[in-house]
Structure 1
Amino acid sequence: MKITECYWELKNLDSHVVEVSIEKNDTFDASKFSFPDKDYVVVKVPVGDTAFNFGLSALNYVMIESQLSMSKALKCYPFEDRLVKYVSSKTELVDVSTHDELQEILDEMTVDMFSTDRIYLDPHFGPKMSMRRYRNWMQDEFEQGTSQICKVVEEGAVIGFFMFKMEGNVCDGLLGGIFEKYQNGPYGILTPVSPALYLQRNNIACKILKTHISSNNMPVLTLYNYLGYKIDQITNVFIKHNIKNDTI
Structure 2
Amino acid sequence: MASRRKKAETELSSKERWLSRLLETLPYGVQENDLNGVITYSNPAHHRILGREPGELPGHHIWDFLARQEEKEVLREMLQETIRQEQAPEPIVNRCLTADGREVQLEINWDYLRDEEGRLTGFISVISDVTERARAEEALKKSKVMLAQAQRVAHVGSWELDLRNNRLSWSDEIYRIFEIDPERFGASYDAFLERVHPDDRERVDSAYSRSLETREPYDQASLRSRERFWDIRVPKIDSIFDNSLVPRPSWSPGVPPQHRKLVAATH
Q: Using structure 2 for the length normalisation, give the TM-score.
A: 0.21
Greater Cα radius of gyration, structure 1 or 2: 2
Q: Which has the higher contact order (CA 8 A, sep 6+)?
A: 1
Which structure is higher in helix share? 2
Q: Using structure 1 for the length normalisation, give the TM-score.
A: 0.22
Which structure is higher in strand share? 1
